[in-house]
Amino acid sequence: MIIKRRPTLPIQVGRVKIGGGAPISVQTMTKTPTRNAKATIKQILELEKIGCDIIRVAVPDMEAARAIPTIRRAIHIPLIADIHFDYRLALAAVAGGVDGLRINPGNIGSKDKIKEIVRAASERNLPIRIGVNAGSLEKDILARHGAPTAKALVESALAKVKLLEDLGLRAIKISVKASDVMRTIEAYRLLSRKTNWPLHLGVTEAGTLLCGTIRSSVALGILLAEGIGDTIRVSLADQPASEVRAGREILRSLGLHPGGPRLIVCPTCGRTQMNVIKIAHAIEKKLEKLEWKNPQAGIWPSVAVMGCVVNGPGEARDADIALICGKNRLFLYVAGVRTAVLDARSAPAVVIEQVLAFRARKSG
pLDDT in tens, 167-192: 999 999 999 999 999 999 999 999 99
Q: Decide which of 289 and 131 is more confident.
A: 131
pLDDT band at 5; cut points 50, 70, 90: very high
* pLDDT given for residue 316 in this prediction: 79
pLDDT in tens, 205-217: 889 999 999 999 9
Biggest alpha carbon–alpha carbon distance for the chain = 73
Q: Is there a contact between 304 and 323 (Cβ–Cβ < 8 Å)?
A: yes
* pLDDT given for residue 134 in this prediction: 83
Among the ranges given (93-97, 104-108, 155-159, 229-233), the one the predictor scored with the smallest mean pLDDT: 104-108
* pLDDT given for residue 308 in this prediction: 83
Average pLDDT (227-234) is 98
CB burial readout 298-335, b (16+ within 10 A) else e: eebbbbbbbbbeeebeebbeebbbbbbbeeeebbbbbe
Average pLDDT (82-90) is 95
Is the pLDDT confidence value at 54 over 80?
Answer: yes
Question: Domains of the chain, with CATH numbers?
Answer: 11-253 (3.20.20.20), 262-363 (3.30.413.10)
Give pTM, 2 decimals. 0.91
pLDDT in tens, 276-325: 999 999 999 898 888 777 765 668 899 999 988 787 888 778 899 999 98
pLDDT in tens, 7-44: 999 999 999 999 999 999 999 999 999 999 999 999 99
- CA-nearest of 227, 305, 323 to 265 is 305
* Torsions phi, psi for 305 (to 5 deg): -125, 110
* pLDDT given for residue 364 in this prediction: 65
Q: What angle do CA 154, 204, 105 make, to 5 degrees?
A: 50
Q: Decide which of 281 and 364 is more confident.
A: 281
- Mean pLDDT over the full length of the chain: 93
